[in-house]
Amino acid sequence: MAGLGAALARACPLPLDEPLLLYLSGELGAGKTTLARGLLAAAGVAGPVRSPSYALIEVYRLARLTIVHADLYRLGGPEELEPLGLRELHAPGHLWIVEWPERAVGALPDCDLQLELSIEAAAHPVRLAGGGPRGAAWYAAALELVRVSH
């Protein structure tokens, strides 16, 4: 998962003229936070990356982009999203990584890429679960980077 996250960081279509939204779904332990940590580290976030499980949102301001990492697991419903201030972070130059987006259905903007992570006996498969053409191109470029590195 960390390797896929790093590939997504390397394949990120910079500069971002509009926000780029990545939604990560899947059961507990499927690797959502690990993927996010891999992306953040490869994007240039130095030091340990905290899971935003309790703060709900962590914002990382980097030289070329701002990454918003949200973990909505503890959200009681979509109505609790507004006070978090995400609306102000929906801006050019921003990449969102949202874990548990299903907790805020109808309150989040449409995503560019949604990945469904799961747990199987010997692996953690990832399935493209939604998004648009920009997200599909981003994901394809990241998968190509993963293939080349193996």
Which stretch of DSSP H or E encloses residue 60?
A: strand 57-61
Residue range 120-146: average pLDDT? 91
Omega before 15 within 30 of 0, i.e. cis: yes
Residue 107 pLDDT greater than 90, yes or no: yes
Residue 42 pLDDT greater than 70, yes or no: yes
Please enumerate, as own/partner, the contacts of 105-109 that have beta carbons within 8 Å and a separation of 24 or more.
105/78, 106/78, 107/78, 107/79, 107/81, 107/82, 108/21, 108/23, 108/78, 108/81, 109/19, 109/21
Quick one: pLDDT at residue 16?
96
pLDDT category at 14 given cuts 50, 70, 90 is: very high
Residue 51 pLDDT greater than 80, yes or no: no
CA dist., res. 43 & res. 130, Å (int): 23
Residue 135 pLDDT greater than 90, yes or no: yes
Mutual orientation of helices 133-149 and 2-11 as an angle, nearest 10°?
120
Strand order of the sheet with strand 66-71?
A: 57-61, 66-71, 94-99, 20-26, 113-117, 126-131
Residue 74 pLDDT greater than 80, yes or no: yes
Quick one: pLDDT at residue 150?
59
pLDDT category at 137 given cuts 50, 70, 90 is: very high
Give me the phi and psi of 129, to 5 degrees please: -110, -5
pLDDT category at 48 given cuts 50, 70, 90 is: confident
CA dist., res. 150 & res. 122, Å (int): 18
Mean pLDDT for all residues in the chain: 92
Residue range 35-60: average pLDDT? 88
Contact between 25 and 113 under an 8 Å Cβ cutoff? The reply is no
